[in-house]
Amino acid sequence: MFNASMPMIQIRDLTKTYGKTMAVRGLTFEVPKGQVVGFLGPNGAGKSTTMKILTGYLEATSGSAMIGGIDVAAHPVEARKLLGYLPEDNPLYDDMMVVEYLRYMADLRKIPHASQAPMIANAVRRCGLDSVMGRDVGALSKGYRQRVGLAQAILHDPPLLILDEPTSGLDPNQIVEIRALIKELGREKTILMSTHILPEVQTTCSRVLIINDGKLVADDTPENLVMQDGGAIRVVVAVQGDEGPIEVADVFRLLESIRGVTRVEEADGEYDGGHAFTLRYEREDPRPALFRQVSAARWILLEMHRKEMSLEDTFRRLTME
Amino acid sequence: MRAVWSIARRELNSYFNSPVAYIVLGVFLLSLGYLFFSSFFLAGFASLRNMFSLVPILFVVFGPALTMRLIAEERKAGTIELLMTLPIHDGSVVLGKFVGALLIAMIGVLLTLPYAVTVAALAQKGVPFDYGPVIGGYLGLAFLASSFLSMGLLASALTRNQIVAFIVGLTLCFFFFFVDKFAIFFPPAIGAVLEYLSVDYHFSNIARGVIDSRDVIFYLSLTAVSLLITVYALRQRQVKATRRAFVMSTFAVVVGLVFVNLISLREFVRFDLTRDRKFTLSQASKETVKHLKDVMTVSAYFTEGLPAPYASHTRYARDLLEEYRSASNGKFSFEMIDPTQAESAADKEKKKEVRRDIFGRTVRDPTAVERELMQLGIEPVEIRVIEDDQQQTKRAYMGVVVLFQGKREVIPVVQDIGNLEKDLTGLMRKLVRSKTPVLGLVQNAGPQQLDRFKALVAQNAQVKDVSLAQGSAIPSDVDALLVVGSGGGLDEKALATIQQFVQSGKNAAFLLDRVKIDPKTFQPQSSNGEKAEKVIAMLARYGVKVEDGLVLDVNCASLNVQEQRGELTFAMPMRYPFIPELSNLDQNNAVTRGVMGVVLPFTTSVSFKPTPGLHGVVLAQSSKSSWIENAPFDTNPRREWSKENIKLAGPYPLMVQVSGKLPHAQKESRLLVAGASTFIWDPFFNQPNQALALNVVDYLFADSALLAMRARGFVDVPLQQDVKDTTRNAVKLGNIFGVPALLVLYGIARWRLREKRRRTIGVDK
Ligand SMILES: Nc1ncnc2c1ncn2[C@@H]1O[C@H](COP(=O)(O)OP(=O)(O)O)[C@@H](O)[C@H]1O
Ligand SMILES: [Mg+2]
């Protein structure tokens, strides 16, 4: 059934309605083998819903979802064999020992008895669970719980991992650990992972899908997404009048006149008495000219720095409308 | 399949890893043990029937308590999402949960096995304990549990709240447990459907010890439908197309199952696990209804709504007739009639018009129904019932009428339900036989007065006097022979004729008067019959020894003796040991069954000496307080019966029956020999003697198949008499508290092992 030449994930015109709420509205995308895809969107955008349909937990209202060429609605059992899934909030059986839990999952995954032990050992090693095997799942810290969830998802060595917010609720150290783990897993597997944390995507994902209100709004590499907005580097300046306040329009005029500057935007942030602006520019670094001009105008330069643009800005721009 | 077992095993483990399991099972066992054993010794029967009637109602509560968490908890914790995105079918998930719950329930039920063991051990020795109902009970509980648990599981799939799941499950189980109890409020057709829907009704069928495909199919259908809906309910937020497909397929399955159930009512198999195959038609009965040449109709008049045990009698009667019908060639039909249902409004009015007679007793005119039944020969019985919290006597009917070719046979009152089949088949055979049987009566050294006996027998058979004088033969239409008298008048030729008759496979009874009694004065005449040695020698060859002396018994009838007191003459009853009265005769033997208080005047002893190929049974014997006197006899009732002169040396056998192949015979035949013929003489022919005489004649005519039918024991085995108080208390406490205690011990051991394992796992990795 599994067709290796087919894309790992194919989603076509997918919609899902919960009563009156339309959670997913005509979503279409493909994920080829081997990609690590970040699935972004604000809360309620329909990420989890999409993943639940993909894993066969929910039925789509219309459209289709395929894994490795297998339609999840028509052949749910076959399709699910190909994936490991870490659901949102990582539900686990709290009353089982970690070892019992993993064995149970191995049983349900129909892993032959002979290969169960090495496969469990492998997942345990990769997720660093050795020291907690005899503990009840319910007694584990959040970080360990997450690792148990991941171990469960990779136990049977599936080609596709679907991870729904794998780092939510973890402390910064735990986030770094889990992120490293995912990165490592990404070398051999196709991963679709949803998240809120944008730096995570930039460091781990080779591709970003952004959805908003159930619709795909962006699909590119993290770098391209940033570049699309006209260069990745900005200069942020803040100026203040020396004697009394100055007119914003004056500042705009001055900044726009500097060579190389292509666009000036007022930036947020408090600069008591002053004004902050973000400059886009081409080729030439505008800072020397900028310094000179500001001095010439007898204004006070409060701040001037270069800023690398992040995905966050793109994300906000795309999902705020 | 593997997934089913994995899930079931996890449920089992997680259940027994949690203290809740021990609390729930413990409470179940404590309440069951307490309820059962508190009245066990009072009831005095070695039977688990009471336990099996308690468990279903407990299951109504404990079943949903067991299942409530199964899916609701997964839904609440979100683990359901894990489970349902694994490469397993939803059906496997549901089945796994179901099997797990069923295993837990059956562990709980099987923990009552110590009850069964103690109960069987306490049964009276010598009375065989019937394991059939015990096996049936446990199997029935498995089926009952599966239907309850599947409904509980369904409830658990509907919600994430366990309490809601419990209440919904409880409601479902409650409904299917109690539906039949509301049947009386509905017309019979709907009532029958409600009864069929009741899990309790089917359980009580199986718990009798009969595994019936009808009951099994009902349970499986109910379970299947519940599980099917559970599979659907497991996935929520289905889209419309799926919902429609589900509704259609469920509808199809339900319709299909209704058909299967309807068909199963006609085509069924059953396994009777009871010891004497109580609920299975015997071969003789099957043969009888299989070869009916004409239509036979049976009307059974049983009043409904009677208290136990009569209610189960009604059901047994219906089942029995059902069995006859299914074994028949289609010419057998029956109707169960509840006489109170047949009452018209006028009858009901009549029942209210109660008057008091001069003695203060209440009387009323018979209703039309009652009059009709009286004409049919069905007699009412008074039964004690509790109605409106008052003990009342209720007039009830338990009679059967069999009609065949315009002839009618009646059982006025079914006295002993265990013999119903035997009685019915006997009556049927009587009705269908092609000719009236002929009893050849050989009277010699008479004259005995047998007019009443002849008249009685003539009601069902033809009595033909047979003379064997001068070598005349026995008419060929004679089916059985009754030889009455001293036997002295039978010469060698006559004896040869008789011998030929019995060797040909026909049956004969010999009522031999060794002491000749004057039929007017009841005085023994001279000595015994003169040349009777030849008969006696013949019988001796058949293993029967006829003694000379008369048997006298302290348990005897009284004789009215004329007393003269001054001017007055009056009759004084005096005990007369020459007329032994037999009060307890074997109630399982065809000849003596239902007979009590037979008198055998002036009888000698007759015994059976084990003889190869022949089977002898003593039918009647005198009491322990009996003795033998030889001629000359002092028959004066006023004589002194002093202890010094009389040595009580009883019991003595007075009547024997011999069956088997007689010497030189081709076929098997039956003989009956009694030490006197006086019990069928007119002056002694009282009610018990008539019953005995009729049984003897029936015995001579009956085919062996009918005689082989055994009475079925419907009475529970009593407990041993001499159970010491300490034993009683040990049994009670051991079972009530011991079993839960063992369970708790197991729980602790299990917990410690798990902790130990937990530590070693932590270490070596
Ligand atoms: N079980 C549900 N019932 C009703 N509405 C739901 C349910 N699950 C999600 N939704 C709604 O569907 C939309 C998408 O939700 P979700 O897929 O969980 O978004 P995300 O994972 O991107 O935060 C939201 O508006 C949410 O309120
Ligand atoms: Mg989500």
Residues of A in contact with B6 (CB under 8 A): 104, 107-108
List CB contacts (< 8 A) between B81 and chain A: 52, 57, 87, 91
Q: Residues of chain B with pLDDT > 70: what percent?
A: 95
Q: Summarize the confidence of residues B520-532 as an average pLDDT.
A: 63
Predicted local confidence at residue B765, as pLDDT: 41
Tell me the C-alpha distance between A35 and B8, whole Å.
Answer: 38
Distance A214 CA to ligand 2 centre (A): 12
B250 part of a folded domain: no
B519 pLDDT higher than 70: no
Position B606 scores a pLDDT of: 92
List, in order, residues 6 or more apart from B712 with CB less than 8 Å away.
B276, B278, B418, B419, B421
Distance from CA of A132 to the nearest CA of B (A): 6
The model carries a pTM of: 0.75
The size of chain B, in residues, is 765
Q: Which of A226, A250, A272 is the endpoint of a domain?
A: A226
Q: What is the pLDDT of residues B115-154, one digit of tens each?
A: 999 998 888 877 778 888 899 999 999 999 999 999 999 9
Label residue B244 left, alpha or beta by phi (over 0 means left) and psi (-120 to 50 means alpha).
alpha
Are A201 and A69 within one domain? yes
With a 6 Å cutoff on the Cβ, whether A87 touches ligand 1 is no
Q: Is the CB of A15 under 6 A from ligand 1?
A: no
On whether both B382 and B442 belong to a single domain, the answer is: no
Domain boundary (B165, B180, B210) is at B210
In a domain, A4, yes or no: no
Final residue in a domain of this structure, among B185, B210, B235: B210
Same-domain pairing of A106 and A148 = yes
**Residue B454 is encoded by which pair of tokens?**
């002849």
Q: Shortest Cα distance from A78 to chain B (angstroms)? A: 7
A47 lines ligand 1 (CB under 6 A): yes
When CB atoms are compared, the residue of B77, B86, B759 closest to A108 is: B86
B511 and B412 within one domain: no
The arithmetic mean of pLDDT across residues B317-330, rounded, is: 85
Q: Which ligand is nearest to the CA of A214?
A: 1
Could you tell me which of B33, B32, B3 has the C-alpha nearest to residue B733? Answer: B33
Q: What is the pLDDT of residue A56?
A: 92
Same domain, residue pair A203 and A245? no
Q: Minimal Cα–Cα distance from A227 to chain B, Å?
A: 38
Most ligand 1 atoms within 8 A of CB, residue of A48, A86, A165, A196 to mutate:
A48
Contacts for B508 with CB less than 8 Å, ≥ 6 apart? B480, B481, B482, B483, B498, B501, B502, B669, B671, B672, B700
Residues of B in contact with A124 (CB under 8 A): 765
Q: Residue of the nearest CA to atom 17 in ligand 1?
A: A46
Alpha-carbon distance A57 to nearest alpha carbon in chain B (angstroms): 6
Boundary-marking domain end, from A211, A226, A241? A226
CA of B163 to the centre of ligand 1 (A): 26
Q: Which residues of B touch A75 (CB under 8 A)?
A: none
Give the CA dihedral A156, A157, A162, A166, nearest 10 degrees: 90
Domain CATH code at residue B484 = 3.40.50
* pLDDT band at A228; cut points 50, 70, 90: low
- Nearest of A319, A314, A317 to residue A231 by alpha carbon: A314
B350 and B471 co-located in one domain: no
Give the CATH number for residue A286: 3.30.70.3100
Q: Which of A49, A89, A93, A108 to mutate to test the interface with B (most CBs of B within 10 A)?
A: A108
Q: Map tokens 């990165």 to a residue.
A: A183
| B279 — pLDDT class (breaks 50, 70, 90) | confident
Kind and range of the H or E run holding B54: helix B49-77
| A34 lies in the same domain as A23 | yes
Instruction: Tell me the average pLDDT of chain B.
Output: 86
On whether residue B161 sits in a domain, the answer given is yes
What mean pLDDT do residues A281-290 have?
A: 81
- Using a CB–CB cut-off of 8 Å, the residues of A that contact B are 18, 52, 55-61, 77-78, 80-81, 83, 85, 87, 89, 91-97, 99-100, 104-105, 107-110, 124, 130-135, 152
Residue B485 sits in the same domain as residue B600: yes
Pick the residue whose CA is nearest to atom 7 on ligand 1.
Answer: A18
Are residues A310 and A175 part of one domain?
Answer: no
Residue A151 banded pLDDT, cuts 50, 70, 90: very high
State phi, psi for B6 to the nearest 5 degrees.
-60, -45
A3, part of any domain = no
Are A164 and A48 in contact, with CB atoms under 8 Å apart? yes
What is the identity of the amino acid at B517?
Answer: I
Both tokens of residue A120?
Answer: 């469990």
pLDDT at B489 over 70: yes
Q: Judge if A94 and A237 occupy the same domain.
A: no
Which ligand gives the minimal distance to the CA of A24? 1
Answer yes or no: are the C-beta atoms of B661 and B667 closer than 8 Å.
Answer: yes
User: How far, in Å, CA of A99 to CA of A136, rounded?
Assistant: 9
B183 and B99 housed in the same domain? yes
Beta strands A275-281; A261-266: pairing state = antiparallel
- pLDDT score of B764: 43
Ligand in nearest proximity to the CA of A213: 1
Domain boundary among B183, B210, B237: B210
Q: Which residue lies with its CA nearest to atom 26 of ligand 1?
A: A44
Task: Compute the mean pLDDT over every residue in chain A, rounded to the nearest whole number.
Answer: 87
Is there a single domain that holds both residue B306 and residue B346?
yes
Closest ligand to residue A49's CA: 1
Which residue's CA lies nearest to atom 27 of ligand 1? A44
Higher pLDDT, B520 or A225: A225
Domain identity same for B481 and B521: yes
Q: In angstroms, rounded to a whole number, what is the distance separating the alpha carbons of residues B290 and B310? A: 29
Comparing C-alpha atoms, which of A127, A136, A207, A195 is closest to residue A166? A195
| Whole-number Å distance between alpha carbons of B700 and B659 | 11
Give yes or no: residues A168 and A53 share one domain.
yes
When comparing pLDDT for A319 and A117, which is higher?
A117
Q: What residue of B is the nearest CA neighbor of A54? A: B85
ipTM of the complex: 0.84
Please indicate whether residue A45, judged by its CB atom, sits closer than 6 Å to ligand 1. yes
**Which among B530, B509, B467 has a CA at the least distance from the CA of B677?**
B509
The reply to whether A2 falls in a domain is: no
* pLDDT score of A231 more than 70: no
From the CA of A48, give the closest atom in ligand 1. Answer: 21
pLDDT in tens, B688-742: 888 889 888 888 887 777 777 766 666 667 788 778 888 889 999 999 999 999 9
CATH number (domain holding residue B414): 3.40.30.10
Residue of A nearest to B19 (CA): A95
pLDDT on residue B763: 44
Residue A148 predicted with pLDDT over 90: yes
Q: Integer distance in angstroms from the first to the last C-alpha of chain A? A: 42
Work out which ligand 1 atom sits closest to the CA atom of A47: 22
Indicate whether B8 pLDDT > 60. Answer: yes
Is A278 near ligand 1, meaning CB less than 6 Å away? Answer: no
Within this chain, do residues B479 and B612 fall inside the same structural domain, yes or no? yes
Q: Which of A2-6, A275-279, B527-531, B610-614 has the lowest mean pLDDT?
A: B527-531
Cβ distance B18 to A131 less than 8 Å, yes or no, reads no
Same domain? For A202 and A266 the reply is no
Same domain? B482 vs B452: yes
Domain co-membership, A202 together with A253: no
B468 and B373 fall within a common domain: no
Domain count, chain B: 3
H/E stretch holding A175: helix A172-185
Domain end residue (candidates: A185, A205, A226): A226
- Nearest-CA distance A192 → chain B (Å): 16
Q: Which ligand is nearest to the CA of A87?
A: 2
A59 and B239 in contact by Cβ < 8 A? yes
A228 within ligand 1 shell (Cβ under 6 A): no
Query: Which residue range(s) make up the domain with A171?
Result: 9-226
d(CA B262, CA B257) in angstroms, rounded, equals 8
The two tokens of residue B350 are 């009549």
The answer to whether the Cβ–Cβ distance between B85 and A59 falls below 8 Å is no
Strand B438-444 with B462-465, pairing: parallel
Q: Specify the pLDDT at position A229.
A: 58
Query: Considering only CA atoms, which residue is closest to atom 24 of ligand 1?
Result: A44
State CA A37 to chain mean position distance. Answer: 8
Structure tokens at B513: 């008067």
Claim to verify: residue B483 and residue B516 sit in the same structural domain: yes
The total domain count for chain A is 2
Distance A103 CA to ligand 2 centre (A): 28
One DSSP character per residue, B193-259 reads HHHHH-HHHHHHHHHTTEEEHHHHHHHHHHHHHHHHHHHHHHS-S--HHHHHHHHHHHHHHHHHHHH
Examine residue B183 and state whether it is found in any structural domain, yes or no.
yes
Same domain, A210 and A242: no
Domain residues for B449?
Answer: 438-547+584-622+652-702
Minimum mean pLDDT range among A186-195, B69-78, B149-158, B299-308:
B299-308
Distance B240 CA to ligand 1 centre (A): 19
Question: Nearest residue on chain A to B88, judged by CA atoms?
Answer: A77
Higher pLDDT, B751 or B612: B751
The answer to whether the Cβ–Cβ distance between B761 and A87 falls below 8 Å is no
pLDDT above 60: residue A72 = yes
Q: How confident is the model at residue B639 (pLDDT cuts 50, 70, 90)?
A: confident
Residue B527 — pLDDT band, cuts 50, 70, 90? low
Domain match, A282 and A203 both: no
Any domain includes B339: yes
Exposure class string for A155-169: b at 16+ Cβ within 10 A, else e: bbebbbbbbbbbbbe
The CATH number that applies at residue A60 is 3.40.50.300
Residue of A nearest to B761 (CA): A134
For residue A126, list chain B residues with Cβ-Cβ distance below 8 A: none
Q: What would the pLDDT profile of B647-691 be if each residue is shown by its tens digit?
A: 888 789 999 999 888 888 888 889 999 988 889 988 888 888 888
Render pLDDT for B20-70 as a digit per residue (tens, 0 to 9): 889 999 999 999 999 999 888 887 788 888 899 899 999 999 999 999 999
Residue A227: pLDDT band (50, 70, 90) is low
Say if residue A304 is in the same domain as residue A208: no
Instruction: Give the closest-approach CA distance of B261 to chain A in angstroms.
Output: 34
Q: Judge whether A1 lies within some domain.
A: no
Q: How many Å apart are CA A33 and CA A29, to the nearest integer?
A: 13
Beta-carbon separation of A95 and B18 below 8 A? yes
Domain assignment present for B754: no
Residues B181 and B330 in one domain: no
Q: Which pLDDT band holds residue B516 (cuts at 50, 70, 90)?
A: confident
